Amino acid sequence: MSVDKKLLEILCCPVTKIGVKLLPKAKLQALNATIGQGKLRYADGSTVDEPLDEGLITENETTIYRVDDDIPIMLEDRGIPTSQLQDS
């Protein structure tokens, strides 16, 4: 299952208030490859140690939020800055 489309319409980044969209499969695979290498960190500096089954990305594509059991984890500290992916 996936995040409800109506919920997706009202969700936004807790920091920037920018809307979010589903993370495309190709980007999800690249993200999980980087997680597997131990090179990805959350906004709070802790290592992302579990791959994502699904994710949301801000419309400006600067932050990714994980979705666990169809529940978006929209916490400021648990955002994943995409700038890390450009360097990998």
Q: How many domains, the chain?
A: 1
Over residues 25-82, the pLDDT tens digits come to 999 999 999 999 998 999 999 999 999 999 999 999 999 999 999 899 999 999 999 9
Looking up tokens 């980007």 gives: 27
| pLDDT confidence bin for 20, thresholds 50/70/90 | very high
Residue with tokens 């994710």: 55
Three-state secondary structure call for residue 9: helix
Per the CB < 8 A criterion, the answer to whether 51 and 15 are in contact is no
Give this prediction's pTM.
0.91
**What letter does residue 47 receive in the DSSP assignment?**
B
Confidence band (pLDDT; 50, 70, 90) for 16? Answer: very high
Q: What is the pLDDT of residue 88?
A: 43
What per-residue confidence (pLDDT) applies to 5? 86
- Cβ distance 24 to 31 under 8 Å? no
Residue 57's domain comprises 5-86
